[in-house]
Structure 1
Amino acid sequence: MQTLPIYEPVKRSAFLDVYRGSAVLLMMIFHLCWDLRHFGFIEFDVYSPFWLSFRSLILTLFLSAVGWSTYISLNKTPHAFFSFWQRDIKLLISAGAISLATYLAMPNQWIYFGILHFIFVASLIIRPMAKWPIACALVGGIIMVIYHLTHWLQFPNAFATITHYIPLPERTLDIVFPFPWIGVVFIGPLLGYLNWHKCPTPNNLAISILAFMGRHALPIYLSHQLILFALVAAFKMLLMAFS
């Protein structure tokens, strides 16, 4: 009698967790600086080259990890395609929660297509192709080259056009445009093909913290700004009370 195969859960990659955790840490630093700026502790232009590059680095780490982890899961677990739906539902609910929370807090700047919304859509797009990492990387590389060397994938009036025909705010706290970022997602599977996730990681407290943050990136993303904003606000109130 033929027995049903038993599939063991995919063993997590410590290196990939640290990689993703590094993105989480940088994101927290970015948002802490934004909070400090909001309450007048520091001053800087969020659209300056430094901060735009800082945000781009965070997005690159997060989005390359999306394609990378998809490749690993599809190649280690035969039926991983169907198991992705649990994660998809979590992402969809989380993205909706971010939209609702920001709409209630700041209706003139609420997030309707931020990083979580983009990751949800990008995960669906990359999944059918992630088993062919070289082809994915070629597509991603072509997208990146076209975007940075031509104007073909740059749509400067797209945002204004969308907000003109759809009742959305002209300003938003966070938005991720499809290009060039879908190209970064497509490059991600190549990192898995090159076995970057098998790179050894040092055994120390800092690495352990980053790995923990990488394993719990979604709940940290959903909660960290509430905590940071409240702490900075409380500190501001204390200073005003004793001044």
Structure 2
Amino acid sequence: MTDTNMNRPRLPVIDIVRGVAIVAMVIYHLCWDLSYFRIIPVDVGYDPGWVVFARSILFAFMAMVGVGLVLGHGDGVRWARFWRRWAFVAGGALIITVSTLFTFPDSFVYFGVLHAIALCSVLALPFLFTPVWLTALVAAIFVGLPFVYSDPAFNQVPLSWIGFWQVPPLTNDLVPVFPWFGVVLLGAVAMRLLRGSPAEQRLAAVKPRARLWRILGWLGRWSLVIYLVHQPVLLAVVAPIGMAMGSQEAGREADFLASCQSTCEATGTEAGLCTTYCQCGMEGLHRDGLWEPVFSGVISTEQQAQLDENNRQCSALIYPELDGQ
């Protein structure tokens, strides 16, 4: 793996694909932010259609990592260029971890897209030069193994970045090595098969002139920079709007009351009593500052004790005979 600088045709189509992927990513994160602040009613993080959309974008991003490695280093690793780019990606990953630790302390990003790209870029280097069939085999193992093996030990944060968890830990972005390193290798395999073929020459001859394609190509060339800065920009716009509208708090209250009412009535309790009980519970969450722990799912022992006490008080409100029990 020595430094070389062989002339290869540039493929504008690759930049356009990257551009489409980064535009899709910005759209997804915009809608995620709007959903988080309850400006739109859909839960983007859990809605099946949005989950498929997000996974498709991630697949494109990770596959393009493999494509880019072959394009940049397939004739020999250009170490200075590789480490400059790697330092930029790793630095961006560190910035995301630190910033989300302050903005979303209960669900900060400790191994997201940029973290995965940084690690997978290093792991993939040897597979730029192994036989293509071997690279494809390793890719298939990484992609397929999580479908047949899982273990609760990987549910915990220290091991979750590997994959194989049954229930992922609470975080806003988690891109584990299994299966996503396999996707990087799939991109590398595809590009290695393309290089030197007539198809590569045909793709190199495609030079779109329309403004839209040129814009997408430019976005693709700067996709990592855009990825790093777009979410802070979106939050700077969306968060004040959501706070001004009070939509996030109102949405949380509506969700809590609807869920509580449904659960309460399922026990056979009269609807009117359930309404009183749930209003009492919501007031307790406000009074004791328990909204964030309840909605994040991260509740300390002391907070759980306070929730239990609030539930007893609300139960006594509709069933006075329970007072003191």
What TM-score does the superposition give when structure 2 sets the normalisation length?
0.63
Partner deviation per Cα, 1:91-134 (whole Å, 9 max, x = no partner): 11111111111112222221111110011000010011112333
Task: Give the CA deviation at 1:17.
Answer: 1.0
Q: Which residue of the other structure, out of 225, 240, 244, is the alignment partner of 1:219?
A: 225
CA–CA distance in structure 1, aligned partners of residues 7 and 99 of structure 2: 34
Q: Which structure would you say has the larger Rg?
A: 2
Tell me which residue corresponds to 2:18.
20
CA–CA distance in structure 1, aligned partners of residues 153 and 4 of structure 2: 52
Task: Give the CA deviation at 1:61.
Answer: 0.5
CA–CA distance in structure 2, aligned partners of residues 219 and 122 of structure 1: 19
Task: Give the CA deviation at 1:157.
Answer: 4.4
Q: Is the 8 A contact 2:4 2:77 kept in 1?
A: no
Tell me which residue corresponds to 2:209.
203
Structure scoring higher RCO (CA < 8 A, sep ≥ 6) equals 1
What count of residue pairs does the alignment treat as equivalent? 228
Residues 3-152 of structure 1 mapped to structure 2, 5 A cutoff: 7=5, 12-45=10-43, 46-76=45-75, 78-132=76-130, 133-148=132-147, 150=148, 152=149
Tell me which residue corresponds to 2:180.
181
Tell me which residue corresponds to 1:159.
155
Q: Is the 8 A contact 1:10 1:73 kept in 2?
A: no
CA shift in 2, pair 1:207/1:161, >3 Å: closer
CA shift in 2, pair 1:88/1:197, >3 Å: farther
> Which ranges in structure 2 are unaligned for 5 or more consecutive residues?
161-168, 247-325
Identity of aligned residues (%): 32
CA–CA distance in structure 2, aligned partners of residues 209 and 134 of structure 1: 36
Query: RMSD across aligned C-alpha pairs, in angstroms?
Result: 2.8
CA–CA distance in structure 2, aligned partners of residues 235 and 197 of structure 1: 47
Q: Give secondary structure in 2 for the equivalent of 1:120.
A: helix
Of residues 231-240 and 196-205 in structure 1, the stretch that sits farther from structure 2 once superposed is: 231-240
Of residues 113-122 and 198-207 in structure 1, the stretch that sits farther from structure 2 once superposed is: 198-207
> Which ranges in structure 1 are unaligned for 5 or more consecutive residues?
165-169
CA–CA distance in structure 1, aligned partners of residues 108 and 157 of structure 2: 18
Q: Is the 8 A contact 1:71 1:131 kept in 2?
A: no
Partner deviation per Cα, 1:191-216 (whole Å, 9 max, x = no partner): 21233765225321221121111111
